[in-house]
Amino acid sequence: MNKNIKIEEIIDFIKLNLTNESKLISNLETIELGEWKSKAYYRFVDSENANQLNSKWKFKDTIILEHPKHKTIVLDILENDHLGGIEFYEYI
């Protein structure tokens, strides 16, 4: 867990900086909070059985953003433009 990071603020930052990703932004409007898997990774979708037929985690792409306070953040984008998780590179 990283107490220095407020996930709700990070989601707002993503919305402001990815205005061309309308489906992702729409999905972020209703995203449920997830959990810290390490001090550097916050997970929204369980990655167990990743990319398997019945898995919720089906990787599509990554998006890299530069946050003014937390530096480089890497977004794991899943099929249907859902946010799977956020990696805070500075804390690796």
Q: According to the model, what pLDDT value does residue 30 have?
A: 93
Q: According to the model, what pLDDT value does residue 41 have?
A: 97
Q: What angle do CA 37, 88, 41 make, to 5 degrees?
A: 10
- What is d(CA 53, CA 75) in angstroms, rounded to the nearest whole number? 22
Mean pLDDT of 62-74: 97
pTM beyond cutoff 0.75? yes
Q: According to the model, what pLDDT value does residue 48 have?
A: 85
Burial 34-43 (b: 16+ CB within 10 A, else e): beeeeebbbb
* CA distance between the termini of the chain: 12
SS3 79: helix
